[in-house]
Structure 1
Amino acid sequence: MKDIKNLISQMTLEEKASLCSGLNFWYLKGIERLGVPSIMVTDGPHGLRKQAGAADHVGLNESVPATCFPTASALAATWNRDLIREVGVALGEECRQEKVGVILGPGANIKRSPLCGRNFEYFSEDPYLTGEIAKSHINGVQSQGIGTSLKHYAVNNQEFRRMTIDAIVDERALREIYLTGYEIAVKGAQPWTVMCSYNKVNGTYACENPYLMTEMLKKEWGHEGLVVTDWGAMNERVEGLKAGVELEMPGAPNGNDAKIVAAVKAGQLDESVLDRAVERLLALIFKADETLKQDFTYDPQAHHALARRVAGEGAVLLKNEGNLLPLEKTASFALIGRFAKNPRYQGAGSSLMNPTRLDNLHDEILKLTGLDQIPYAPGYTEKADQPDEALIQEALGLARQADTVVICAGLTDIYETEGLDRTHMKMPPGHDALIQRIAAAHKKVVVVLSNGSPVEMPW
């Protein structure tokens, strides 16, 4: 390991300030003359979203193929620390192959509203479960010499006006509900980075909040890593640095690096504060670089098998009237619903990734039963914003000829996405109408839902 303090002593003020912001969307800055490399960070949390071309933080541009593990809502539903650690190890291995030093996850936001558009990315409404699963996830990734970013710290529980909203919360609720998951993860796993959120907490932006970033995180919990902003979350760079935020991403708009230099020269910022930030930054950079120097190749098939195992453990059986499940292999059944062939397996936004392989229920049933074909009908349009009578009639026709009907439904991408909250808990009208009509005409109906947030089930 490099002598970091000696290295800092060789830096100019401008060089030190430059390290406090990103080079571009995904890379940290290096200093070539001093042998400080530039490392890459990229999105998670349920799979590697490394963008080889155009970069964005809302899932618009495609990323390199990687294993898509079940989202956080499903991971937590396994209640299995060891299994989640395995997922973390696999994510770390994929980062090693792709030369990514830090994966931006997991998300430990507490689910305070069932309408939050990003609930699929978060573990639970329970602080203890959140902390334990996050801890296992982080320990798994970092066992591979790859960093994580525990996010979005703190009290970020909705997408509506997330950039400006002020979360007013008393000390007891803050500690018992909103921060417990982070505390468990920090003390039990030491994530290399913690990501501060866009919102204000009790009147102060999280990324400029010394109570959260220094008093709580660094001093009380003993966090040894660095704090990075969510992309574009910094408002006042010098105040953020004083508060304990070392790294601004994706870069330094409005001359923020120069503002740090000017503040030191004007006596408004003690240079020792900057030095401490640079020390933490360099520790992470060199730690990641040691790993990334080594070539590594992961096994995509083994990782896909792990993802299947996690999906199985994360599935939740809500109801089984008359012991309808499990179905016999020889049972006569109809498969209804577009999701049976085109599964919805992730939400939209910065976590949207490009899977190496995607299984679907239709094809899996063919494999299990040995059948050449299954009676299938889509049942609803892709958007499903309105019931489609012709598709419903087609589905009813198949249902009448089968002993059992399996319907695949849930929430579409527009219902669960970064940047938007839902306005209700209803499923798309096309899905609800299909289920209601089939259930009214058939006694044996299995409904398979794909959703990362709660939904109403009026049928």
Structure 2
Amino acid sequence: MVGTPADQAREAVVEAALRRLDLDAKARLLAGQDMWTLSALPEIGLGPLVMSDGPIGVRGVRWSADDPSVALPSPTALAAAWDPGLARRAGVLLAQEARRKGVHVLLAPTVNLHRSPLGGRHFEAYSEDPYLTGRIGAGYVTGVQSGGVGTTVKHFVANDAETDRFTVNNLVSERALRELYLAPFEAIVAGARPWGIMTAYNTVNGTTMTAHHHLVNEVLRGEWGFDGVNVSDWMAARDTVADINGGLDVAMPGPRTVYGAALAGAVRDGKVAEATVDAAVRRVLRLAARVGILDGAEPVVTELPETVDGIGLAREIARRSFVLVRNERGALPLKPNGTVALIGAAARDARVLGGGSATVFPAHVVSPLDGLTAALPEGTLSYAVGADPATELAVADGGFSLTAVCRDTDGQVIGTRPTPGGLIQWMGSDLPDGVTHDTLHTVELTGTFTPRESGPHTFGIKGMGAFTLTVDGTTYFDDVQRPDQDDPFEAFFGAPVPRAQAELTAGETVDVSLTYVVQLPDDIPMRVVTFALAHAEPERAADALIAEAVEAARAADTAVVMVATTDRVESEGFDRTDLHLPGHQDDLVRAVAAANPNTVVVVNSGSPVELPWRDDVAAVLLTWFPGQEGGAALADVLTGAHEPGGRLPTTWGSLADAPVTQVVPADGELRYSEGVFIGYRAWEKAGRTPAYPFGHGLGYTDWTYESLDISPAADGTTARVRLRNTGDRPGREVVQIYVSLAGPDPERPARWLAGFASAEAGPGESAEVTVTLPRRAFEVWDEEAKTWSLVKGSYEITAGRSIADRRLARPINV
């Protein structure tokens, strides 16, 4: 291994440790010992290596609200800031959080692409564009690893939808793989040297990714020189021999995996060479040395970065990510001392993050109602629910005071744990003190609920198995709840089932209890106790709620309507079937806009939704899933204390017009028949106009692009752009550089993003940015020659504000 003297010293320690291990110890090290950790090997001074989910926070080994984490905005939000430096700062904070929780490796970032707007997990990925994704991902990885914590760039590769994700065979041309789906991984390996990568559940061109020798051993490790660990997505490893020979180092989770004893047996049977196991163990020990848990090896980071203010950074990222896509008649920022009607259930009960394994539990959340109440003069803000995006039960939260009580088969209490909400997710050894999986028979969530509204409250259960549900002394359910689909993660991501309706009075406390009989299925290779008490407040007629909102809007100078998705619309585990806002939110916006022409709509979603009323309102602000400080950041932007700094990282348009929508496999296969034409590339090829194009975003000032100069450079082509702030307040502009062939070529996109940079200037001031366009911007993958090929000829270089708003152009010959 070639590297610095420190790298060589670490490698010597790794080799010495490897020589001291027998086959069984080596095989055991490559298998998770539980949900989140690899086994310690005291005989060589190796501590347990701990992994944890990200990407917006570090959950740690406990999936519970009683172990809070800083919650940053969603990855789509981070990408919308178009600032690799900001992504790096986010990574530094997450490393700080990881160290606080005893975590060595963060299971992030997700750099899959927004191939179709229906992808259910797109909020967890950055963009539809591979270049933007690679730049933001490299910044993130660099930041995390500068804090001495490893990353696992995921999900390698073509894990761009959720439908049948365990079994789907994605058929992708080699050119599309290279130019789109592999490109962010390649850029991050080259630019940030990640210490880990995670292979996906899916199959690519007939081979499962955990066993994909070509893409892992030949491309990732061979061509790109990746020297880190390849860990499986959880439960993705399914074949001992194929996976280890295909380049998979670690099979997670444990204790039951296809590695461990099975791997040692395969070596003894002659099916796997011990040298192959040694190579995998070497990479794991190298990771352990890098993060500082292998005796004798100096960690990569010996001087930690300065402490980051997590609350302040979460707020900054949020406001820098908000994208103002429409602002007519100067609707924003809000006029000083004007009255504001804030409308929408999402304004009170904020949706700050997406559902699934990306979930963390912040110590507090600033809702839009909280943020605006604090920012606006007293007496100028009113609130109305208007419409609720939730169309089903949510995990019990506000008004509940609950404790988990664990009992053995004799009914004796063996442990308790306070639970801030109604969710129980105990994985591996994360159990209350004194409790083991062998002794645990039942878990009772018991406590009180104080309703904030009178009427019929609905209670339900999320999870699989035998439950007893009691509310205010009445037992409503005592039976078995069974899954409705064959997905091992149904208990995690499935919908709550309504089981009781109780007439309650606001402010009057009642007792509640949900008891679960613990049953660990034999076919799940991890020991997990997971279920939840769910709840919904009394439903009110949609027309009445909208009528109240209309009256509030009519009485105010400005109506601010919050619309949102829910975790049943955007989450891990399923794709979307449409892009509609749930519930009666579209009806709400239309009614409010008819009553008040100065209506501002704030869209709280992680990825595109249809906005059929967008031309009827004064302003539209996209806030993604804005993290725990989202409400404070929203107040900053609406009042004009800060600009909305975001630009779209993905195209927003209607599903009917979207060129690429297929996410459902046919006979187990999903054909990427569009080739290299996804996102804006596909919209332009189809000649369709989206609602809001890639790169679009408005600020609170105006910019004039004055000059564009192109010159050759040692590492590519340099574009220099001079621009001027022609507005009346300071601002920040994202200058985007696109490349296009001078003549049409049906095999290539009309244009593609090749670089970007941010400029800041005060009123009347000018600024200049320099952007280096890499050689790759002028190359294509030659499928016959199996290599990158420079396409010589005439090109046009354009600089502007979006793919559709190009201000300056210059020709260039390559």
**Partner in structure 1 of residue 160 of structure 2:** 157
Distance 1:207 1:292, change over 3 A: same
Does 1:450 find its partner at 2:460? Answer: no
The letter of the residue matching 2:276 is V
Quote the offset at 1:384 in angstroms.
4.7
**Alignment partners' CA distance in 2, 1:33 and 1:373:** 68
**Alignment partners' CA distance in 1, 2:343 and 2:306:** 36
**Partner in structure 2 of residue 354 of structure 1:** 361
Instruction: Please give the per-residue CA displacement for 1:40-66, whole angstroms capped at 9, x wherever unaligned.
Output: 1000001111243xx5xxxxx446211
**Alignment partners' CA distance in 2, 1:436 and 1:183:** 46
Distance 1:199 1:63, change over 3 A: farther
Checking the alignment, whether the CA contact within 8 Å between 2:166 and 2:236 is kept in structure 1 is yes
Match of 1:186 among 180, 185, 189: 189
Quote the offset at 1:299 in angstroms.
6.1
Checking the alignment, whether the CA contact within 8 Å between 2:65 and 2:362 is kept in structure 1 is no
Q: How many residues were matched structurally?
A: 451
Quote the offset at 1:116 in angstroms.
0.9
Checking the alignment, whether the CA contact within 8 Å between 1:329 and 1:368 is kept in structure 2 is no
Give the 3-state SS of the residue equivalent to 2:38 in structure 1: coil
| Bigger Rg over Cα | 2
Does 1:377 find its partner at 2:384? Answer: yes
Give the 3-state SS of the residue equivalent to 1:41 in structure 2: strand
Instruction: Please give the per-residue CA displacement for 1:86-137, whole angstroms capped at 9, x wherever unaligned.
Output: 0000000111111100011000001101011100000000000000000000
**Alignment partners' CA distance in 1, 2:575 and 2:76:** 16
Checking the alignment, whether the CA contact within 8 Å between 1:68 and 1:353 is kept in structure 2 is yes
Quote the offset at 1:363 in angstroms.
2.3
Quote the offset at 1:287 in angstroms.
2.2
Give the 3-state SS of the residue equivalent to 1:318 in structure 2: strand
Match of 1:219 among 214, 222, 230: 222
Range 423-432 or range 372-381, more displaced:
372-381
**Partner in structure 2 of residue 175 of structure 1:** 178
Quote the offset at 1:298 in angstroms.
8.9
Unpaired runs of at least 5, structure 1: 56-60
The two structures have a TM-score, normalised by structure 1, of 0.94
Checking the alignment, whether the CA contact within 8 Å between 1:97 and 1:295 is kept in structure 2 is no
Checking the alignment, whether the CA contact within 8 Å between 2:87 and 2:140 is kept in structure 1 is yes
**Alignment partners' CA distance in 2, 1:432 and 1:171:** 42
Distance 1:65 1:296, change over 3 A: farther
**Partner in structure 1 of residue 96 of structure 2:** 93
Does 1:22 find its partner at 2:176? Answer: no
Checking the alignment, whether the CA contact within 8 Å between 2:389 and 2:563 is kept in structure 1 is no
Range 332-341 or range 141-150, more displaced:
332-341
**Partner in structure 2 of residue 58 of structure 1:** none
Unpaired runs of at least 5, structure 2: 1-9, 294-298, 393-538, 614-814
Does 1:285 find its partner at 2:301? Answer: no
Checking the alignment, whether the CA contact within 8 Å between 2:212 and 2:246 is kept in structure 1 is yes
Range 382-391 or range 372-381, more displaced:
382-391
**Partner in structure 2 of residue 395 of structure 1:** 549
**Alignment partners' CA distance in 2, 1:206 and 1:46:** 25
Does 1:312 find its partner at 2:319? Answer: yes
**Alignment partners' CA distance in 2, 1:161 and 1:167:** 11
The letter of the residue matching 1:425 is L
Quote the offset at 1:357 in angstroms.
2.9
Quote the offset at 1:373 in angstroms.
6.2
The two structures have a TM-score, normalised by structure 2, of 0.54
Checking the alignment, whether the CA contact within 8 Å between 2:251 and 2:257 is kept in structure 1 is no
**Partner in structure 2 of residue 423 of structure 1:** 577
Q: Percentage identity across aligned positions?
A: 38
Give the 3-state SS of the residue equivalent to 2:563 in structure 1: strand
Checking the alignment, whether the CA contact within 8 Å between 1:105 and 1:148 is kept in structure 2 is yes
Match of 2:78 among 75, 93, 109: 75
Quote the offset at 1:382 in angstroms.
5.5
**Partner in structure 1 of residue 476 of structure 2:** none
Distance 1:176 1:297, change over 3 A: closer
Range 168-177 or range 4-13, more displaced:
4-13
**Partner in structure 1 of residue 60 of structure 2:** 50
The letter of the residue matching 2:132 is L
Checking the alignment, whether the CA contact within 8 Å between 2:238 and 2:258 is kept in structure 1 is no
**Alignment partners' CA distance in 1, 2:301 and 2:80:** 36
**Alignment partners' CA distance in 2, 1:444 and 1:5:** 68
Distance 1:384 1:431, change over 3 A: farther
Range 391-400 or range 114-123, more displaced:
391-400
Does 1:8 find its partner at 2:26? Answer: no
Range 130-139 or range 61-70, more displaced:
61-70
Give the 3-state SS of the residue equivalent to 1:308 in structure 2: helix
Which structure dedicates a bigger proportion of its chain to strand? 2
**Partner in structure 2 of residue 241 of structure 1:** 244
Give the 3-state SS of the residue equivalent to 2:337 in structure 1: coil
Matches within 5 A, 1:288-303: 288-290=291-293, 302-303=309-310
Does 1:345 find its partner at 2:352? Answer: yes
Instruction: Please give the per-residue CA displacement for 1:151-200, whole angstroms capped at 9, x wherever unaligned.
Output: 00000010010000000011101100111011001111111110000000
Instruction: Please give the per-residue CA displacement for 1:191-229, whole angstroms capped at 9, x wherever unaligned.
Output: 111000000000000010001111110011110101000
Checking the alignment, whether the CA contact within 8 Å between 1:334 and 1:406 is kept in structure 2 is yes
Which structure carries more relative contact order (alpha carbon 8 Å, separation 6+)? 1
Checking the alignment, whether the CA contact within 8 Å between 1:304 and 1:357 is kept in structure 2 is no
The letter of the residue matching 1:69 is L
The letter of the residue matching 1:78 is A
Checking the alignment, whether the CA contact within 8 Å between 1:109 and 1:155 is kept in structure 2 is yes
Quote the offset at 1:381 in angstroms.
3.0
Checking the alignment, whether the CA contact within 8 Å between 2:251 and 2:258 is kept in structure 1 is no
Give the 3-state SS of the residue equivalent to 1:436 in structure 2: helix
